[in-house]
A = this chain, B = another copy of it.
Amino acid sequence: MPISRRTFMASTTALAATPLIGSTPLLAKAPLVGVQAPGVYRYKVGEFEITALNDGFFNRPAEGFVKNADAAAVNAELANAFMATGAVKIPFTVLAVNTGSKLVLLDTGTGGLGAPTAGLFAANLKAAGINPDDVDTIIISHFHPDHISGIRPKEGLPTFKNAEVMVPTPEWAFWMDDAKMAAAPEAAQGAFKNVRRVFGPMAKDVKQYKWGDELVTGITAIAAPGHTPGHTAFAVASGKETLLVLSDTTNHPALFATHPDWMAIFDMDGETAKQTRYKLLDMAAADKMQVAAYHAPFPATGNIVKKGTGYEFVPAKWTSF
């Protein structure tokens, strides 16, 4: 069940109203709740206010997940990170960036069309008190379904009717090319179809951007190809502070910051993705930049340090401000 503030409170209330069986003293007055609190976290980058919004997760079997590492190596690294083995629990976190002049979404989540353990973005947006109609701009990093499906989500979930949608030019060129779709393997057909489902009805209104462009004041597109042809990272800068939004430069950092040479099955051009990964992680570590990473554990922000032959993602310390 998607976990929202509403279901979270509702389940509490409903269960609390359930009479205890008999009045056995073996039961606590308060029932177990069984759902997570909202996945909402706010932080500042200069004057900008960032809201991290969790969209749940999906489990991907460790077997076959990394092109150049076997399941045993993947499971060993998961165990090192105190994560369950056998499958990689891959979370999704969308960012809302309020620059003061624009409320921007960086990607949009699965739109309720992915795994049953995903699709929490809309509920968390609501829990955060963000009205979808107030979103001015949606900036997309790349066209995989867990990033774009929220633009045109499952029936009943909110859309962003006042938002301008901005996408990377090379991403548009690749995925909207019918010849590329025809040449793509069967496993990629769903992604091509989803691109057409999302952008088909609004194609003429989509604004394409180039790497190096400042997309709205303070948010600049950074070339990060390999994961997909047009995969883009972002610098979010205000005052003296900059957040490096890595998008999918790494999949789960416990695996791919630790082993930047590992290539996830989702990296379409593994070698180029690897070069991008080393370049951006090295920059983040050298400059001690705060980063956000879409597939890092919520709230999906922290820092990168060099460690051994790779890097380590150091989660930011949660604060009540």
**Residues of A that sit less than 8 Å from B by CB:** 3, 8-9, 12-13, 16, 25-42, 49, 51, 54, 56-57, 81-83, 89, 91, 98-103, 117, 120, 127-131, 133-136, 162, 254, 288, 290, 297-299, 302-303, 314-321
The answer to whether A134 and B30 have CB atoms under 8 Å apart is yes
Oligomer copy total: 2
Residues of B within 8 A of A319 (CB): 36, 57, 89, 91, 297-298
Using Cβ atoms and an 8 Å threshold, which residues of chain B touch A13?
129
A254, A297, A315 — most chain B CB neighbours (10 Å): A315
A98 touching B320, Cβ below 8 Å: no
**Smallest beta-carbon distance A23→chain B, Å:** 13
Using known A-B contacts A16-B131, A37-B128, A288-B82, determine if residue A321 contacts B28 with beta carbons closer than 8 Å.
no
Give Cα distance in the complex from A288 to B79, angstroms.
10
Q: Known contacts A100-B27, A136-B29; is A320 also within 8 Å of B117 by CB?
A: yes
For the complex with contacts A28-B101, A298-B320, 9 further pairs of A-B residues with Cβ separation under 8 Å are A27-B100, A29-B133, A33-B129, A34-B321, A37-B128, A39-B318, A83-B317, A117-B320, A299-B318
Alpha-carbon distance A135/B82, docked complex (angstroms): 31
Chain B nearest CB from A214 CB (Å) reads: 16
